Amino acid sequence: MAGLSEVDMTAVLRDAVHITRELSIPYLWIDSLCILQDDPADWEQHCLDMGKVYGSAHVTLCAASSASCHEGFLSQRGLRLRLPFQSQSNPDIISGAYDLQFKHVRALSTPDHQSVLACDLNFCHWAYRAWTFQERALATRMIVFGSSNIHFLCGNSYESRGDGPQLMVKGYHISLNTKPVDVNQHHRLWDRILSSYSMFNQTSLTRPSDILPALAALARHFQQRLDSDYLCGHWVKNLVRDLMWNHRLRQNLSSQIEHRAHLIAREGLVPSWSRLLQSRRTENIFICGYLMSRSVRVEYRDVTPNVSLAGANSFGEVHEAILRLTTWVLKPTSMLMQKENSIAMKEKHCGFQAAFGLVLQAVPGAPGRYWRVGTFIPSINGLHADSLSLFRNLAQVETIDII
């Protein structure tokens, strides 16, 4: 502890030091101290190395009961009620008081699988911080100091104080300890990660521009397994199919366009084609079952990414990320939404062929540049069986930039 006395530490740091000593662990990594916050090069390098830190640590401490990064996690908090009692048979000998601690209340309709651990993690400040997302996924072991109990997590199982070992509820916890057996499983796991991470908004980040750096360590972890270049949450080898994502909550196209344009104007930190632009849960339509990849044939001629990085971190912040796409473009000038354009692939369903692809909106004052504002997919009942013919008859091959 040379150079920093415990008196100068915040309560959460003092608690972390105390627990580390009690566990007889000689070293403690604290992000705010071990990373030079005012040195961009050191900060950027450590963004990449966080996977090594959490993946190699003996155990990671999670201060889930702290309301901020300054508040301790070992002290008891919440409303207290003291109830005195006195024995009726021996009132002079047996007496005292019960202290009731009110921490949080669960609704009676909460499903059984919402364990105390789930409540401790779902109703805490820590869970809504984007930087802790990859900490949770990359750590091999965790001790969670929750509002209700203390929990030990290891792989896909956990144990709460006073209870025996239990398995994590499927779909609740993203763990990298179970190794996928093929590339497709890696892509499905990455899709789950993006689906959850895409919900974070600007209030979840220290700085709005942290949206990509806060995922950098996880992206680096997956790059070694997917053997593909990384582009703002997506992978080059699977890029065209990765672009086909939607909001998990269905919206009509005009609502998607309005929301999309608002985010583009407000942020500009990630490209419009990236799922990370959203502040709501998204899903890939191939992985979630809307389209079967084996029945799909892509119709684009060429796609060339052009990314301008803000620093040396290839997984970090970008100045600009453009996809130059040569493909079929249909400009439906006879339709109500005259500004929107579409690029298509095609799928064969029960003897008919239907088009699907991206809906684009022209960037004002920038000819040839477009925002991705949505997707269109064929109806299973065959109502859009002639959509491919529409593209063949009216669309033209063009080279466009999606920003």
pLDDT, averaged per 10 consecutive residues of the chain (403 residues), comes to: 73 93 94 84 85 90 86 72 83 80 52 70 84 87 90 89 78 55 81 85 81 91 90 90 75 56 62 81 64 66 90 89 90 50 50 74 89 76 60 83 93
For 86-118, how does the pLDDT look when each residue is reduced to its tens digit (9 = 90+)?
A: 888 887 778 888 877 665 554 444 454 457 888
Question: Cα–Cα distance between 63 and 124 in angstroms, integer?
Answer: 9
Q: Per-domain residue ranges for the chain? A: 6-72+110-178, 238-402
Determine the pLDDT at residue 387: 66
What pLDDT score was predicted for residue 230? Answer: 94
- Residue-averaged pLDDT of the chain: 78
* Strand stretches in 70-155, DSSP E: 79-86, 95-102, 141-145, 150-154
Confidence (pLDDT) at 248: 61
**CB contact at 8 A, 117 and 106:** no
Q: H helices of 301-399, where?
A: 387-394
Give per-residue pLDDT as tens, 140-168: 899 999 888 899 998 888 999 888 888 87
Q: In sequence order, what are the residues at sequence separation of 6 or more whose Cβ sits closer than 8 angstroms to the Cβ of residue 143?
A: 19, 59, 60, 61, 62, 150, 151, 152, 153
d(CA 280, CA 268): 17
Determine if the pTM surpasses 0.95.
no
